[in-house]
Amino acid sequence: MSFRPLHDRVLVRRVKEEEKTKGGIIIPDTVKEKPQEGKVVAVGPGARGDDGKITPLDVKAGDRVLFGKWSGSEVTIDGEELIIMKESDILGIVDKPAPAKK
């Protein structure tokens, strides 16, 4: 993909949501809510502070993030639906849990 966000913007791909509930009920597309979790595809260089210095972003490509329901702008790039949002719209980074010890 040949797209690079500017400043403190982040390009995010939504993760696929489950088609069924845990009880086995299939959820139709018409009532499904869009997931609020995604994977960062690309990030901008950072925000420019009052002193003119660029502050790098806390997120990086490959991070799984949570964002608000109405965050960002939906765009289509190379036939794929993605979201461009400011880093401040991201609520947090989802860390992978540590492997359980036996």
Q: pLDDT of 1-53, one tens digit each? A: 688 889 989 999 988 765 555 666 666 555 555 668 899 999 999 988 889 89
- For residue 65, give its domain range: 9-94
Residue-wise pLDDT tens digits, 66-90:
998 888 889 998 888 999 999 999 9
The per-residue pLDDT for 52 is 87
Count Cβ neighbours within 10 Å for each residue of 27-40 and write b for 16 or more, e otherwise.
eeeeeeeeebbbeb
Q: Identify whether the C-beta of residue 82 lies closer than 8 Å to the C-beta of residue 41.
A: yes
Tell me whether strands 9-14 and 54-55 are parallel, antiparallel or unpaired: unpaired
3 domain-assigned:
no
Asked if pLDDT for residue 102 goes beyond 80, the answer is no
49 domain-assigned:
yes
37 domain-assigned:
yes
pTM greater than 0.85: no
Q: Going by C-beta distance under 8 Å and a sequence separation of 6 or more, which residues neighbour residue 30?
A: none
| Domain count across the chain | 1
